[in-house]
Structures are given as structure tokens and as C-alpha cells.
Amino acid sequence: KEFRNNVKPNWCPGCGDFSVQAAIQRAAANVGLTPENLAVISGIGCSGRISGYVNAYGFHGIHGRALPIAQGVKLANRDLTVIASGGDGDGFAIGMGHTVHAIRRNINMTYIVMDNQIYGLTKGQTSPRSAVGFKTKSTPEGSIESTLAPLEIALASGATFVAQSFSSDLKQLTALIEQGIQHEGFSLINVFSPCVTFNKINTYDWFKENIVNLNTVEGYDPSNRIQAMTKLMETNGMITGLIYQDSSRKSYENQIVGFRSEPLAQQNLKISEEAFEGLLKEFK
């Protein structure tokens, strides 16, 4: 309850993003956080509104730039739990460069992508996650570009935590966000989050028919990177659950020699008030 605020989301009724909001709120409470320990940083898109819908520190950034902002927040205050979030257009098109480098940097934070295979806020254009042949206003004859495979890219980029879930499975999604928060390093959680208004192909029913929960796959071992990559490729990415976790690698901040243990935001500046005022004047 403490992560709820009084802002009413203006997502369409039935939008998958409601579940992601609820899962973040539940996961944060379940791992024992309080609102002042959490920052939610988002990009642009319907899903980008989420930073205003969780009672925590929030920053609604610009298109594709949630990750640089979130990484800066985390490095300035390592005591905060930082969640970045946005849509597949935000994170896998304009923001893809940041996504790949955030993955290989491995700062201790969580990135949740609400993947609806379309641009919803701008009223339904083909996104990097749309299937070949997908017809929208921007591809009226059907998309002729291949579909981006973000989780394979993440594994190939050295990801230490890769998971995928579905808005209909709030229990699994909440558990994966908890695991992502507790993972030391960068955790990527892709969420099939249907856009009920503009995507009439990748609907709740379509996902239910097409996804395989890894809990039902006998012998699946999320510490095996080759198996994770193979499973993703075999299923065209249509799997949910914890796909891969490497708990042996230290986070970026825990590898920097001399990186202060106290948050930068709380460091003693060791300058007098007078000198500080002088500095401020210089910047006016």
C-alpha cells in the first residue's frame, strides 16, 4: 500500500502496464523497501508514465534516455534501489545503444521493459519488436524488417540477469522483479505487456497460446548461458521465467577501486557555507 499514490493512471482499461505497476509496488514491499529507498526512472511512451504512478522517487526522462539517468542516480546514491522502465520502442529503438552498454556495465539496478510490440502513445506504429508482416499505419503493407531479439542481444552483451514475464502472470512478474532487485548487477526484465488499443495481434490470448513458462521445462538451468541462448532461439523468445543469472560477477560499482562506500549524495563536501555560496554565484 505504501507504494501507491493518489495519481490515477491514464492507461487504457486492460493495458498490460497496470500489472507492471502493481508488480513493482508489491515487489518493492516484499523485499522490505520503503518509498524513500526506491527511485523509478522512466523514458517516453505510455509505459513511461509509470514513474508518476509509484509512490517513490521518480523521474520521467526523455525518449530512450531512462537508462543514462537511472545509472547516474544509482552512482550518485548507491543506497537507493533504482528501477528504470519504459517500452520496447523506448529501450530497443532510440535507447538501444544505452541498453546494450548498461548491460555490459552491470551497475546494480533493474530495467523493466514493457514490451507491447507497437508504439502505443503515438497511436500505433510498428516498433522494433513487431513481427515481420505486422500491419500498422507506418507499415500498411506489413513490416519488412526483422524483429529485434533483445534477450539474445542481452546475453551476447554479457548480461548477468535476464528474465521475461507476462502481464497476466502477476505472481511470476512480482517474483522476478524481487529477484532482479536482489541481484547484484544489472537485471533486465522484459514483460509482454499487451497494448489492447492498437495491437490486435499480440493480445492476452495470443500470448497465453504462445508462451512457455520455463518452470514447466524439465532440467532448465538458468545458470547455463548456452542453454539460455539456445532456448531463446528455439522458441523465438517466447519463454517466461528466469532465463539466465550469473551471480559470480560483481557489479560495476563494486569493482571500482576506491569507489566510496557512502553515497555521493551524502558525502561531506568539506567546504564552508560561504565558499559554497561563492561557487553558486560563479554559476549564476
Helices (H), 83-149: 88-89, 96-105
Nearest approach in angstroms of CB 39 to ligand SF4 is 23
**Region from 114-122, 139-147, 170-178, 251-259 binding ligand SF4, contact rule CB under 6 A:** 114-122
Contacts 24+ apart (CB under 8 A), 129-133: 129/88, 129/92, 131/201, 131/202
The Cα 230–Cα 246 span in angstroms is 17
Q: How far is the CB of 37 from ligand SF4 (least distance, A)?
A: 28
* Amino acid occupying residue 214: L
Helix axes 170-182, 17-30, angle to 10 degrees: 50
Structure letter (DSSP) for residue 87: E
Angle separating helix axes 66-76 and 96-105, nearest 10 degrees: 30
Least distance (Å) between residue 194 CB and ligand SF4: 7
Verify binding: residue 46, ligand SF4, rule CB under 6 A: yes
Shortest CB 268 distance to ligand SF4, Å: 45
Q: Which of residues 193-212 bind ligand SF4 (CB under 6 A)?
A: 195-198
Cα 88–chain centre separation: 10
Q: Which three cell numbers, joined as nine digits, stand for 212?
A: 512457455
Q: What's the closest the beta carbon of residue 195 comes to ligand SF4, in angstroms?
A: 3
57 touches ligand SF4 (CB under 6 A): no
Asked if 50 is part of the footprint of ligand SF4 (rule: CB under 6 A), the reply reads: no
Residues for the chain: how many in total?
A: 284
- Cα–Cα distance between 86 and 48 in angstroms, integer? 5
Q: Per-residue string for binding with ligand SF4, 132-171, x by CB under 6 A?
A: ----------------------------------------
Stretch that binds ligand SF4, among 53-61, 139-147, 191-199, 269-277 (CB under 6 A): 191-199
- Note whether 115 binds ligand SF4 by CB under 6 A: no
For ligand SF4, the binding residues (CB under 6 A) are 11-12, 15, 17, 46, 116, 120-121, 195-198
